[in-house]
Each structure stands twice: as C-alpha cells, then as structure tokens.
C-alpha cells in the first residue's frame, strides 16, 4: 500500500511538471506579429495645467478630515483642516463646498474676517 501512495504522488508531480514544460514551450515560440512599441511616458503632473474651477494661487497640500454621522437626523458634523501653500498674495481663499454650514473658520489659528458660501 505504501508503494501505491508513492506512485500516485510521483505521477501527479510528473504530470504537473509536464504541463509546466508544455506551457513554457507555448510561450517560447516566436510571436507571429511584433509587439507594439512601448507607450510614451506621461508628462509630469502640472498643477497649473490641471483642469478645475478653483484659483491656482492657493494650493491645498494636506487634508485632515473627521466626520461624525448622525443617522437619526440624516446629517453629519465634522472638522476639516487643510495645509495650504500660498503661491501669491491673496485676499480670498476659495474651497469647493455644497450644502454645508461653515463654523469657526480659522487661518493660522486666528478667526477669518468673513466666510461666504455660494451653493448655486
């Protein structure tokens, strides 16, 4: 009985090896058509060329967002902190937001003078 188990294992191993050799031989044959030329590398990312409606003079670098869902009210609250890079002097900072009430808006830890929201 020990001989039969050994024989069965050897047969399976040889079968797998034979299948692997056949598979390799199939891929080793030359292709009928040459491979296509490699695609050109994409251009490096350019913030200035990126599409969008926001001004390009203030760049968001890092977002930290915390959201607290309130399922009973079907609402949520949360906080957001954004690290910005100012590329030039500006009197306004524009963010995308829709149907939000902004409270306690600060820049460098100090309250901002005015917050306006345009949900149109």
- List pLDDT tens digits, range 16-60: 344 444 444 555 555 566 678 888 998 898 888 888 888 899 988
Predicted confidence (pLDDT) at residue 15 exceeds the cutoff of 80: no
Tell me 18's DSSP state: H
Mean pLDDT of the chain: 76
Say what the pTM is: 0.54
CA atoms within 13 A on the CB side of 82: 15
Segments of the chain assigned E as strands: 58-70, 75-86, 106-107, 110-111
């Amino acid at each position: 009985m020990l001989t039969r188990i050994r024989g069965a294992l050897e047969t399976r191993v040889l079968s797998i090896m034979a299948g692997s050799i056949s598979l390799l031989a199939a891929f080793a044959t030359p292709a009928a058509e040459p491979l296509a030329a490699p695609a050109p590398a994409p251009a490096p990312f350019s913030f200035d060329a990126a599409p969008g409606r926001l001004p390009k003079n203030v760049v968001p670098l890092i977002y930290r967002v915390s959201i607290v869902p309130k399922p009973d009210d079907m609402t949520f609250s949360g906080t957001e902190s954004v690290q910005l890079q100012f590329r030039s002097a500006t009197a306004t900072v524009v963010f995308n937001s829709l149907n939000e009430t902004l409270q306690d808006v600060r820049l460098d830890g100090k309250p901002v003078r005015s917050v306006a929201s345009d949900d149109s």
